[in-house]
Amino acid sequence: MYPEVGGVPAAGVVVGLGRVLGRLCVIVANDATVKAGAFFPATCKKVLRAQRFSLENKLPILYLVDSAGVYLPMQDEVFPDEDDFGRIFRNNAVISAQGIPQFAAIMGNCVAGGGYLPVMCDTLLMTEGSGLYLAGPALVKAAIGQTATSEEIGGTKMHAGISGTIDYREPNDELCVERLRRLVGKLGKPPHTPFDRTQPVPPKRPEAEIFSPVAAGMPNSAISPGGAANWGAAQYDVRDLLAHLVDADTFDEFKAEYGQSIVCGFARIDGWAVGIVANQKKPVKPATRQRTGRHHPLRREARQRRQQQRGAEDHADHRRLVRSRQLRDVRKSVRPALHRRLADRQVRGDGRRLGGQDAAAHRGRGAHTQGARA
């Protein structure tokens, strides 16, 4: 396929059906070993066919994304038609509107058009070292002159803690796929049951001690002399409380690094798949962007260059006005007056200023001395 560009096996994407923990799903996986996972015309046709099959049969669709976007030398054949690249994103919206789950796992660099598809899915996972951005560091440097790393532009930490784009940050591909399987396993069996139950597992911590995290987080000031306690003042990590409640190793936290005042996720209680929304009961610190703000070195240098440029422009404007006689050069009138002021402020040996008749006498002596010298 496409021998004129060196061959593109399977159009750089693997598409098919498979069961994930017993649930039949549509699978779309980019092959980054073929032209960096770029989209060719045939690539678009295969992805669109997979989306159509998912929509018609109400099957969840899983995208394993590692794509460089459109193959630019053939972009005239990839973008324009209504059944080409742009149709993929339209289908993302339609599939979500139909309530059909869409999962995307970013396990590599997703650049330009390759970054749109995963962001439009319902659930997004991303591995460490991957990138999600419209333009990489080299293009950013060429376009606006800013030097930034891949992590600062669209790395996992930035998208997990700053933009909130991704839902789960995973250290490697293996754990990412494992998490994806667990999430699919909590979908439930269609079409009649929107919930699911498996073999129950005891919680990681004893159920009878569920109140222990709250008691441990009580400050002494919240306990009155009579023994009554203000339990609302307790500070603790709500995840410690959930460990006494949910089945062991079933809690998958959603956006763990974003909006940390609330803990959300999916888990199982007595085998039943549930969603969890819990207020965090300890102080949290918001995520901060690295190397940003008005004191960023690049911004400081740019600000200094702008100030220097404005100063040079103001000086050039002043000289131009003086030469055209539109502005009087005030230095010719200022200097004599300045010399007179300085002469009036001559000081005696005792440090007092001369004024009135003393100053006039001093000027007279100065004039007499100058006349003698002449």
Q: What is the phi/psi pair of residue 227, to 5°?
A: 100, -10
* Cα end-to-end distance, the chain, whole Å: 102
Separation CA 92–CA 120 (nearest Å): 6
The pLDDT value given to residue 232 = 75
pLDDT of residue 68: 84
pLDDT tens readout for residues 89-123: 999 999 999 999 999 999 998 888 788 889 999 99
pLDDT the model gives residue 329: 54
Domain ranges of the chain: 3-185, 207-279, 297-346+357-373
Mean pLDDT across the chain: 82
pLDDT in tens, 6-40: 899 999 999 999 999 989 999 999 998 898 888 89
* Beta carbons within 8 Å of 366's beta carbon, 6+ residues apart: 343
Q: Which tokens belong to 174?
A: 């293996």
Of the ranges 87-91, 163-167, 305-309, 321-325, which one carries the lowest mean pLDDT score? Answer: 321-325
Between 68-82, 186-200, 300-314, 358-372, the lowest mean confidence (pLDDT) is in 358-372
The stretch 201-228 carries a mean pLDDT of 80
Structure-block tokens of residue 316: 């050039």
Give percent of the chain with pLDDT exceeding 90. Answer: 43
Bridge partner list, 39: 70
Q: What is the pLDDT of residues 182-197, one digit of tens each?
A: 999 988 777 656 677 8
- Of residues 15 and 335, which shows the higher confidence score? 15
Percentage of the chain with pLDDT > 70?
A: 77
d(CA 179, CA 123): 11
- C-alpha distances out from residue 153 to 177, 194, 229, Å: 25, 38, 48
With 50 as the cut, is the pLDDT of residue 127 above it?
yes
What is the residue type of 53?
F
pLDDT at 332: 57
Cα 282 to Cα 29, 236, 239, distances in angstroms: 40, 5, 11
More confident residue, 369 or 226: 226
User: Is residue 334 scored above 60 in pLDDT?
Assistant: no
**Residue 374 pLDDT grade (very low, low, confident, very high; cuts 50, 70, 90):** very low
Specify the range with the lowest mean pLDDT, choosing from 79-93, 318-332, 358-372.
358-372
| Over residues 38-61, mean pLDDT | 93
Residue type, 292: T
Q: What fold does the segment set 3-185 form as a domain?
A: 2-enoyl-CoA Hydratase; Chain A, domain 1 (3.90.226)
Question: How confident is the model over 262-287, as a mean pLDDT?
Answer: 91
Query: In this model, does residue 262 exceed pLDDT 60?
Result: yes
